[in-house]
Amino acid sequence: MTAVRREAFGRMPPEEGGGEVEKFILQSDSVKVEILSLGCIITTLETKDRDGKFSDVVLGFDTLEGYTRKHPFFGAVVGRVANRIAKGRFTVDGKEYQLFLNNGPNSLHGGAKGFDKVLWSPEVLPDGVRFFRLSPDGEEGYPGDLKVWVTYTLNGRQLSISYRAQTSKTTPISLTNHAYFNLAGQGSRDVYDHEISIEADSYLPVDDTKIPTGEVAAVQGTGFDLRQPVELGKHLQKFHLDGFDHNFCLQQVQSPHLVARVCHPATGRTMEVHTTQPGIQFYTGNNLDGSLKGKGGITYPKHSAFCLETQNWPDAVNRPHFPNVLLQPGEEYNHTTWLVFNTA
């Protein structure tokens, strides 16, 4: 059984419209997750270690103020388009669109005020919560009125995140959740002792602004071969990598399948990612620098968390040979990602 509660979390600043932000608490025997109506943000995710002790395994803030200030998308749903669009430009039906540039020369995670920074309308479900919003035509430069539903449901050890959308004009869309995980418990120094595997035969090399070059490169014989579990710290050293911030290319099938697994041997905590999406961005918190004070006043240094963002491939709207990212009127965008927490 999943218990669902809602409570007030704070009010948005007057300059942001001053709306009320609610928190939704979903709890099973083995997982507790807290989600805000602001940005559909996962603020807390508690799971058991092998001794049955709960710890919070996601980075974030104790108060609303932390989330209304600039932060690296902790726990948020990002969109319309997750990841980067080169030069913030794309052409649909012969018309060029220009987005806000918020990541060097590129547009990242929906622009200046993406889905992570707005209030969503919540609806409590027996085992979760569904959030809705209408992204109006022209918002952040994107075409079409876009109706979006994001549904979180908790079933035992499994948290599912379902994304649905419908549009009035052809528009690119790629939604993901940007939770930062540390299975040792949030606030732990680094994730070097985590073991990770990703079920991908290829990945996307990027230029110095993190835009894919267009090549779909085989992982075989490279530091990007994570098909067998590797201990992260040793692996980064071995291949002289500063960290990962890359899209791994998944099997393109509509049915859910296991795409990544992370294990923290010291606590026994494991996390599996299953999805219907064609890509997953593996990010090792390279830009965390200890300047943000998170939950409990703890600072988050570089490599103190990892993200596994299920998504379409970055800049797919400008790459015809990448999976289709355009949603047409009359069609429905429909993807689900499942996070399964266990102990080994």
Annotated binding-site positions for beta-D-galactose: 83-84, 178-180, 245
Do β-strands 20-27 and 158-167 pair in parallel, antiparallel, or remain unpaired? unpaired
Burial class (CB in 10 A: 0-12, 13-18, 19+), 1: exposed
CB burial of 20-40 (b: ≥16 within 10 Å; e: otherwise) equals ebbbbbbbbebbbbbbbbbbb
Annotated binding site: 83-84, 178-180, 245
Going across the sheet that includes 307-311, the strands are 217-218, 202-203, 245-249, 279-283, 307-311
Active site residues: 178, 309
- The CA-CA-CA angle for residues 317, 99, 59, to 5°, reads 85
Q: How many CB atoms lie within 10 A of CB 190?
A: 17
